[in-house]
Amino acid sequence: MARGFDARMLQRRETLASDVSLIAAEFLTGFQVVEKLDRPAVTIFGSARTTEGDPTYAAAREVGSCFAEAGFAVVTGGGPGVMEAANRGAKDRGGLSVGFNIELPHEQANGYLDISLTFHHFYARKTMFVKAAEGFVIFPGGFGTLDELFETVTLIQTEKIANFPLVLFDGDYWDEMFAWMRAELLPRGTISEEDLASMSVTSDPDEAVRIVVGAYDARNGGARV
């Protein structure tokens, strides 16, 4: 059964005005939190189901640490799994750890957050991921991670946001997806080589950080603002 604020808004119309007011308030609160970030930030996506013993968890923690050392805030969905690992890595190095959580039946905020905000509406939350970010790192994940990946690349493709770095971590995980896109989407003309080129793939934590930080420094003349 569908539940929560999003489900209510889609199923009922007699509360439309109040629902819109709640959505507007949630956007405002999110923008105010993003505005307070005192350093550039990277948004890291990945599965909530990744366990601490998984190599992906260790890699996400290392990436979070490296971004903190580079002076970046680490923004995640604030939940368990890859999100927890990245936030934990940022905390390991004394960095700024941010979580934009979502009200879900089986997903709670992790314990490694300096700034935490819980949303009722997915679309408000997803906007903050983009608003805060100077780049994105996508770890292995399921439907939610794929949704975040393709929404971000669509925003870049349609020039709704700048061509920020979009790094897919773990080449073995993503290789078949890229092979499918090259075999099926490119020949049909539904995407272009430029679209594919907007995504980088690496299995090296240091390289993932270099791509995002290097692009930020190039845009800002090497200055951290």
Q: What is the DSSP string of 58-73?
A: HHHHHHHHHHHHTT-E
Containing 43, the helix (H) or strand (E) segment is strand 41-45
Residue 40 pLDDT exceeds 90: yes
Render pLDDT for 56-100 as a digit per residue (tens, 0 to 9).
999 999 999 999 999 999 999 999 999 999 999 999 999 999 999
Lowest mean pLDDT among 93-102, 104-113, 136-145, 196-205: 104-113
**Tokens describing residue 199:** 């995504």
- CA dist., res. 224 & res. 176, Å (int): 37
Residues 85, 69: contact at Cβ < 8 Å? no
What is the pLDDT, as a whole number, of residue 19? Answer: 81
In 3-state terms, what secondary structure has residue 139?
Answer: coil
* DSSP code at position 46: -
Q: Is the CATH number of domain 5-219 3.40.50.450?
A: yes
Pick from 191, 142, 202, 115: nearest CA to 166: 202
What is the pLDDT, as a whole number, of residue 4? Answer: 60
- CA dist., res. 146 & res. 214, Å (int): 25
Statement: the pTM of the whole predicted model exceeds 0.85: yes
- CA dist., res. 222 & res. 225, Å (int): 9
**Tokens describing residue 59:** 């890699």
Q: Measure CA 87 to chain center.
A: 12
Backbone angles phi, psi at 118, to 5 degrees: -100, 130
pLDDT over 90 percentage in the chain:
81
Residue 193 pLDDT exceeds 80: yes
